[in-house]
Structure 1
Amino acid sequence: MKAVITIVGRDAVGILARAAAVCARHNANIIDVTQTVMGEIFSMVMLADIEKLTCDISALSEEMQQAVADQGLVAHVMHEDIFNAMHRI
């Protein structure tokens, strides 16, 4: 089982560190991450293995959102099955 985690907003120091800390706290193993900065806009997509997650995915999502909200960032956590279904033709 995997989750797709996205974070978007104005670039700042420590965004990836905050996201990784939330994942580590709940035993979500980061498999891959890509990020880019376009001008001042930060965009990140992370793939995490959630097989051994210590909370439900909605709790992970809520904590991820709270972890970056004070920086004006938006975070989304989506189960890979939902992500795949949304992007299937």
Structure 2
Amino acid sequence: MRRAVVSVIGKDQVGIIAKVTTVLAENNVNILDISQTILQDFFTMMMLVDVTNIENLDSLQAKFDGISEEMGLKINIQLEEIFRTMHRI
């Protein structure tokens, strides 16, 4: 299984989860774990997803970029091993 981390940060508003998960569902990406919280007006969400059937994450990132621009969010997707390496303490 090949896994990736999706992070979403921005001002809380209606439809964030719906739009992000719609992109995942349309691309046959399963959510393995999810955590989200709202801190005052700020929304944060982290998801661990199965991207075994996705050859290149750039196409998903491009779709997330459209949502980011539309909703004023920061959405990133990166392979789990890259995420772990970048955030190692």
- RMSD, aligned CA: 1.3
- Where 1:70 maps in the other structure, the secondary structure is helix
Kindly tell me the number of residue pairs found equivalent between the two proteins: 88
- The superposition leaves residues 13-65 of structure 1 with CA deviations (integer Å, 9 ceiling, x where unpaired) of 11011111000111111111111111100011011000122x52011111112
- The superposition leaves residues 51-80 of structure 1 with CA deviations (integer Å, 9 ceiling, x where unpaired) of 122x52011111112123211111011111
So what's the TM-score if we normalise by structure 2? 0.90
Correspondence 1:1-89 to 2 at 5 A: 1-53=2-54, 56-89=56-89
Specify every segment of 5 or more residues in structure 1 that has no aligned partner in the other structure, as ranges: none
Name the % identity: 35
For residues 23 and 68 of structure 2, the distance between their equivalents in structure 1, rounded to whole angstroms, comes to 10
AA matched with 1:71: M
For residues 41 and 24 of structure 1, the distance between their equivalents in structure 2, rounded to whole angstroms, comes to 25
- Where 1:37 maps in the other structure, the secondary structure is strand
So what's the TM-score if we normalise by structure 1? 0.90
For residues 52 and 12 of structure 1, the distance between their equivalents in structure 2, rounded to whole angstroms, comes to 31
Specify every segment of 5 or more residues in structure 2 that has no aligned partner in the other structure, as ranges: none
